[in-house]
């Protein structure tokens, strides 16, 4: 590794420390601050992040998101599911289906082809588990709203992957493409991830946490994360779903400890800081500005869909009345999952490829920067309601 990369790495960690300090003093979401630091340091700003360091982004994103998925799975305790499971399922399903319908209809009205509208709407169902989870942690608030929110974030990308895969097959049929493999691939990505998560989680629940505290437990936690992410990539399944299943299995079967979750909470911070800063370095506001009226329409349609469907879903689930308007704003962040969907869709529909990538990247910049702010406002507002 070149000295410039090490110097840049140290500088980015120091900037992350400053960003964390500012967030503690102001209450501003640190995720957004990290993204803005990366934006300033990246190619859209002063371009001081070495290319070698940018090359770490793919690996870091997998590691950091696997850690987040593990912790989100840990939130799916049977007690939590008994108390909030109905709300989690209903709100997440209404959000995904409603976002698909509203965004697709709106884009079609704006003049996009029906097939392209459906693909972009399916991508719009994706959320940002890392951003949302970090805002929940930063808030320090643990109540029914945040527990339900973590459950929704843990499961809604599963629904999103299913919907996206179905839409690709349907649009392929509309466009005259033969693509019967789409359902099989989706089934394997989800079903294979569940099976792999069970295969890793069951023995881990039995064997981990039996050594004394300290470094051995950190090694256990890291081995779980790296095995989960590496085996998921090797098997071609979703590492997010695998990580979530591993976490859920351990938290429900390992009655003798919760140490693995504590260790991952401690270990994840440097990975998460660097992940968000490098993610910010990869953002390009010129793309966000360049998507024009259709891009602005997509941002508006997704925002309206999240606000409306979060409120409707919360009402159907019977959540407390004053909490219902805040589920939609809390679930506005969008990030890497959407980009991954866009790359797959662009490869399958090359005639629309450039438009899909530009619109997804452009709108993701907006939701990744401003979404966590909405999440923090929603969490604090519901806490005030509970206290009142």
| Residue-range domains of the chain with CATH | 58-387 (1.20.1530.20)
Question: 198-202: which pairs have CB atoms within 8 A and are 24 or more residues apart?
Answer: 198/245, 198/249, 200/224, 200/227, 200/228, 200/231, 200/242, 200/246, 201/245, 201/246, 201/247, 201/248, 201/249, 201/250, 201/253, 202/249, 202/253
Question: In the prediction, which pLDDT does 214 show?
Answer: 46
Residue from 155, 100, 149 nearest 305 by CA? 100
Q: How far apart are CA 372 and CA 236, in angstroms?
A: 30
pLDDT at 309: 95
Q: How far is CA 152 from CA 88, 128, 172, 178, 204, in A?
A: 5, 11, 30, 34, 25
CB 269 within 8 A of CB 58: no
The torsion of the CA quartet 127, 131, 136, 139, rounded to 10 degrees, works out to: -140
Q: What whole-number distance in Å separates Cα of residue 153 and Cα of residue 215?
A: 31
What CA–CA distance (Å, rounded) separates 335 from 61? 11
- DSSP H helices, 188-258, are 193-207, 215-235, 239-253
Quote the pLDDT of residue 101.
95
User: What six digits make up the tokens of 113?
Assistant: 């082809």
Joined together, the tokens standing for residue 115 give 């097939």
The alpha carbons of the chain give a radius of gyration, in whole angstroms, of 20
Contacts of residue 359, defined as CB under 8 A and 6 or more positions apart, other chains included, come to 120, 291, 294, 295, 298
Contact indicator for 248, 74 with CB cutoff of 8 Å? yes
Predicted local distance difference test score (pLDDT) of residue 290: 62
C-alpha of 129 from chain center = 3
Could you tell me the mean pLDDT of each successive run of 10 residues in the chain, 388 residues long?
78 86 80 81 79 79 83 76 83 94 94 91 88 87 88 81 82 66 72 92 78 62 90 88 87 66 72 80 65 86 96 93 92 80 79 82 83 92 73
Measured in residues, the chain has a length of 388
- Residue 183 has what pLDDT? 66
């Amino acid at each position: 590794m070149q000295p410039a990369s090490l110097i840049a790495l140290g500088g980015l960690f120091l900037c992350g420390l400053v960003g964390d300090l500012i967030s503690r003093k102001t209450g501003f979401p640190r995720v957004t601050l990290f993204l803005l630091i990366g934006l300033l340091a990246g190619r859209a700003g002063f371009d001081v992040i070495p290319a070698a360091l940018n090359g770490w982004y793919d690996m870091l994103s997998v590691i950091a998101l696997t850690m987040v998925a593990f912790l989100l799975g840990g939130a799916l305790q049977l007690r939590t599911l008994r108390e909030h499971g109905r709300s989690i399922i209903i709100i997440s399903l209404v959000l995904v289906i409603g976002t698909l319908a509203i965004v697709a209809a709106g884009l079609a009205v704006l003049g996009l082809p029906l097939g392209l509208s459906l693909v972009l709407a399916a991508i719009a169902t994706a959320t940002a588990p890392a951003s949302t989870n970090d805002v929940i942690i930063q808030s320090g608030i643990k109540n029914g709203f945040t527990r339900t929110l973590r459950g929704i974030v843990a499961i809604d990308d599963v629904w999103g992957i299913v919907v996206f895969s179905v839409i690709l097959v349907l649009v392929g049929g509309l466009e005259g493409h033969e693509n019967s493999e789409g359902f099989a691939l989706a089934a394997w990505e989800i079903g294979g991830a569940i099976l792999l998560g069970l295969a890793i989680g069951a023995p881990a629940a039995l064997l981990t946490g039996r050594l004394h505290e300290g470094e051995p437990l950190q090694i256990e936690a890291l081995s779980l994360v790296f095995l989960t992410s590496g085996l998921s990539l090797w098997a071609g399944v979703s590492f997010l779903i695998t990580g979530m299943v591993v976490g859920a299995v351990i938290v429900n079967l390992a009655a003798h400890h919760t140490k693995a979750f504590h260790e991952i909470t401690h270990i994840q911070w440097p990975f998460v800081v660097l992940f968000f800063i490098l993610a910010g370095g990869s953002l390009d506001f010129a793309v966000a500005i360049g998507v024009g009226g259709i891009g602005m329409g997509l941002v508006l349609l997704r925002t309206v869909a999240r606000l409306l469907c979060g409120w409707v879903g919360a009402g159907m689930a019977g959540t407390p009345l004053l909490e219902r308007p805040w589920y939609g704003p809390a679930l506005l962040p969008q990030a890497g999952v959407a980009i991954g969907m866009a790359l797959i869709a662009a490869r399958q529909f090359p005639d629309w490829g450039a438009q899909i990538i530009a619109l997804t990247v452009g709108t993701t910049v907006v939701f990744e920067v401003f979404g966590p702010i909405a999440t923090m406002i929603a969490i604090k507002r519901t806490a005030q309601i509970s206290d009142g």
